[in-house]
Structure 1
Amino acid sequence: MAEHCSAVPGELPGCVICVSDPSEPDVEPSSCSGSVLCRGPGLVLCPAAVLVPFLQPAVPAWPRGDALPPSALRPGLRIVVLRAAPPPDAVQQHSAHPLAVLRCDAFARALPGTAEDRSEALPWFCWLRVPGLDAPGGTWTPWAPAAALQKGAALLACGTPFGALCPELFLNALSSGVLSNATGPRRALLLTDARCLPGTQGGPVLALTPASSPPRLVAVIAATAGCQAGQGLGLALLCSLDVLLHGARSVLHELRNLPPPLPLPQAHNSTAMSCTALVESGGSWGSGTLVAPRLLLTCRHVLQMGAPLRVTLRHGTTRDTVLQARLVFATAEASPFDVAVLELQGSVPSFQPPDLATTFQPGEPVLALGFGALGRACAPSVTGGVLSAVVGTPPVMLQSTCAVHAGSSGGPLLSARDGCLLGIVASNTRDNAAGTTYPHLNFCIPVSLLRSPLARYGCSGDPAAFAPLNAASEGARAAWRLQQRPPSTGVLP
């Protein structure tokens, strides 16, 4: 689990980029966020999409090469960097000029299939020289390679919502989250559940560290939370700073004095992080939660009844472990508890089962793991939030604010403090009338409902141990129909 880390750094490496054409005052300026990489010399990085309105008419947006020549831009552009200043100024303005507009090939190769309707400009970034940011003895912003981050690591996104609209109010707004997933060469593409609003593209993303050490710049925001297949993602796309620097070193002599990356503290990862599995059943797939070396929980709706079952452990450090499985038990369609129990044909090597939670405290930090949002392509995604509600006494439903996506059903909900298994994810929220999915409100089956059946099955091997899951009270049924709060007694025998 992620460790408690340092608070906000004293000087944030964020800024706003505003581009305009003085020869065409009727054309609206274009703006976005940016990342201050160095104060000696002053260097700023931002998405090249801010330049799209100001390309020469004959220039295709975007070419197939790796660099855009300065002649591709209209002459005489005014590029201004807005930077936080001490009161009473609040915001300082500095003129800037482009050094290079470069395509990040590693990031581009990681993009296909991750989102719909992405701009062709997405893999392109603009490097700016800002003399006004030169400072005596100025140095590089401390940085670290994203490849050193563990999933679930605490991140801090710094961006300015709405760009140059009202920087006095929005400059360098902060949002915390975790590293949800990573893919591509050198982990070029990252996902985070930090809330990144429109206009924050280009803002810096920092890996938090213990209080004695400064945060490390690890990525820049490439795209804010969008939609995929009609579903709200609640995740932002990041581009690793390491791959951006690697691709620009041969072009920009300003990078010749780039200091080496700083190390990142390795947070202790609970063994519970390894309990997530990919479950495939015919043409259906979802997630599963290992509770014993040969026993796995998932959701009934993940399975195509009668189809072969395959369980894959894919955690990115070793070769996939693929095991066949058989269905031990699935709740009836009429049961509100969407549960299936699978037995693997072989044991998972060196598996340590997660501890099962005995208490559920609203507001406690939690992590949801599953094969939604890039997970099927690489390894489980991780999103953080809080336990937003515990419904019923004893509990019949848990709700969390973790971003949960298609493919996450059956995955574990873990305590971020100690890694205890709280429950399994059953669904997120969808407004059928509006056709909108809300990933940050999801419903989970409490592990307390499963503890006794699992123990009885472990002793007897009789699938009838899980039969009480079909005998839920009317209060539990009403809760899962989203009709009313269940009564406080008599949920399950």
Structure 2
Amino acid sequence: MARQWGPSMRAAEKAGCVVSASRAGQAEAGSWSCSGVILSRCPDLVLCHGGIFTPFLRAGSAALTAAGAAFLPGDSCGDDLRLHVQWGPAAASLAGRAERGRPGLCTPQCAGPEPGPPARPGGGRLLQPPRPAELLLLLSCPAFRAHFARLFGGEAAEQWRFASAAPDDEVSEEEEEDQLRALGWFALLRLRPDPEEEAAAEEERGPVVAVASPGAVPKGAPLLACGSPFGAFCPDIFLNTLSRGVLSNAAGPLLLTDARCLPGTEGGGVFAARPAGALVALVAAPLCWKAREWVGLTLLCAAAPLLRAARAALGRLGPGTHALAALLPQEMGAPWGLPLRDPGPPWAAAAVLVECGTVWGSGVAVGPRLVVTCRHVAPREAARVLVRTTPPKSATIWGRVAFATQETSPYDVAVVNLEKDLHGVPLPVPAEHFHEAGK
């Protein structure tokens, strides 16, 4: 396992960073922070989530949903915006920093006003002191926004919540609306030059990460998410926290993973085991809620189309930004779009969504009008049950509970009888033999 994930872990920790935004001269106003990905060195380009910039937009969050808004230039935010980026240097440069006597921050102590002493051999890791940065542009992936509106809009939108706070937390309607508007937006930053740092990092000039085309990462592929829970809070503890999972599902550039990510990891990078260490996506929403129930899935935006949008936006901003577009990482692997044409394994198509009031869960079609699910999803006393099949032949069919085990039964099983046939869904065949895992 360590051999499989080693390159991805090194790539994630080398590219991971945390971004903080504040108002000049207004420390009492607080700060906003999120995770980010270092795209290139010398110049240092960083991609992070756009939600932290909402309070600084001159035209307010409505500018993010304006007709045809694919990107916003950096001057869309007020002049009082101050940005800082912090990351942990690669292991190869730690010794060099210590030998040069540069101060750093050493774990396990938390960040204070002054950086701590350099790490001793075998001790904690050194953190790069926060570096000032400038906002080049805010950008979104139009395809991500279109798929999100199709899948989570309409009548079902009120059941879903994509925010850092739990449904019971006190979040104003205005704050929640701002979070939803900024959900598919990201920010491209450029760190301000530091001659001494640039000289030390001359050997690392160029792209820091390779970007995987979504076609190269199939559904079910293992993923590694790298972000900083709670943003800039105590980065010497939480910076570049890793979480493993798989690519749970995909709809164009809108991806889902079961890798658990906490608030503050928005904008963090998600990397693939194969191609080793390739950047697959960025975290768009770390927590999803449906009907006041937490869903253990993280919403992602694929990196490849997002970087394409960044190149196009940089080309339109002016001559001074054309050269930066060439420094963004290039795609590797299969072309975009292959997963959408791949029907996947038959058991994926036989899976359906079962809804009974505010309760919902998965089910398996075992006959043209029969679906097996759990009793706690569709109890015996349920009046009507709604079953939804998966795209592209998505259908909505009502049914009734034909059988459900007793609450005292050790088996949590229910059978739903549908009012209409399920068309285009391959029915599973019972296995003749059972093989224990690992045998």
TM-score bracket for the superposition, by shorter chain length = 0.5 to 0.7
Cα gap change, 1:226/1:333 in structure 2, threshold over 3 Å: closer, same or farther?
Answer: closer
| Offset of residue 94 of structure 1 | 2.8
Mapped contact 1:40–1:139 kept (Cα < 8 A)? no
| Offset of residue 143 of structure 1 | 0.8
* Structure 1 partner of 2:187: 126
| Offset of residue 277 of structure 1 | 3.1
| Offset of residue 32 of structure 1 | 1.5
**Matches of 1:70 and 1:293 in 2, distance apart?**
55
* Structure 2 partner of 1:219: 281
| Offset of residue 295 of structure 1 | 6.5
| Offset of residue 100 of structure 1 | 0.9
* Structure 1 partner of 2:362: 287
Number of residues of Structure 1 aligned to a counterpart in Structure 2: 351
| Offset of residue 289 of structure 1 | 2.2
**Matches of 1:106 and 1:163 in 2, distance apart?**
27
Cα gap change, 1:357/1:238 in structure 2, threshold over 3 Å: closer, same or farther?
Answer: farther
- Report matched runs for 1:215-364 at 5 Å: 215-252=277-314, 253=322, 254-256=324-326, 258=328, 260-263=330-333, 272-278=347-353, 287-290=362-365, 296-300=371-375, 302=378, 313-314=389-390, 316=391, 319-320=393-394, 329-331=403-405, 335=409, 337-341=411-415, 353=429, 355=431, 358=434
* Structure 2 partner of 1:24: 26
* Structure 2 partner of 1:115: 161
**Matches of 1:353 and 1:161 in 2, distance apart?**
44
Cα gap change, 1:176/1:73 in structure 2, threshold over 3 Å: closer, same or farther?
Answer: same
**Worse-superposed segment, 249-258 or 44-53:** 249-258
* Structure 2 partner of 1:83: 87
**TM-score (structure 2 length as normaliser):** 0.65
Identity of aligned residues (%): 37
Q: Which amino acid is the alignment partner of residue 283 of structure 2?
A: I
Secondary structure in structure 2 of the residue aligned to 1:84: coil
**Matches of 1:98 and 1:72 in 2, distance apart?**
10
| Offset of residue 350 of structure 1 | 6.1
**Matches of 1:351 and 1:76 in 2, distance apart?**
60
**Matches of 1:171 and 1:123 in 2, distance apart?**
23
* Structure 2 partner of 1:105: 142
RMSD of aligned Cα (Å): 4.2
Cα gap change, 1:304/1:42 in structure 2, threshold over 3 Å: closer, same or farther?
Answer: same
- Report matched runs for 1:32-51 at 5 Å: 32-39=34-41, 41-51=43-53
Secondary structure in structure 2 of the residue aligned to 1:6: helix
| Offset of residue 30 of structure 1 | 2.4
Mapped contact 1:33–1:46 kept (Cα < 8 A)? yes
Q: Which amino acid is the alignment partner of residue 244 of structure 1?
A: L
**TM-score (structure 1 length as normaliser):** 0.59
Deviations 1:323-364 (A, max 9, x none): 99998755467755343446896897765536478577xxxx
Mapped contact 1:293–1:352 kept (Cα < 8 A)? no
Q: Which consecutive residues of structure 2, in runs of 5 or more, have no partner in the other structure?
A: 99-103, 105-125, 163-175, 315-321
1:6 aligns with 2:11: no
Question: Which of 43, 51, 54 is 1:52 aligned to?
Answer: 54
Cα gap change, 1:277/1:52 in structure 2, threshold over 3 Å: closer, same or farther?
Answer: closer
Q: Which consecutive residues of structure 1, in runs of 5 or more, have no partner in the other structure?
A: 361-414, 419-493
1:68 aligns with 2:45: no
**Matches of 1:141 and 1:151 in 2, distance apart?**
22
Secondary structure in structure 2 of the residue aligned to 1:179: strand
Mapped contact 2:19–2:33 kept (Cα < 8 A)? yes
Deviations 1:67-108 (A, max 9, x none): 334333232543221121226541113332111122333333
- Report matched runs for 1:452-471 at 5 Å: none
Secondary structure in structure 1 of the residue aligned to 2:207: coil
Mapped contact 1:155–1:206 kept (Cα < 8 A)? yes
**Matches of 1:45 and 1:78 in 2, distance apart?**
16
* Structure 2 partner of 1:467: none
* Structure 1 partner of 2:111: none
**Matches of 2:385 and 2:27 in 1, distance apart?**
63
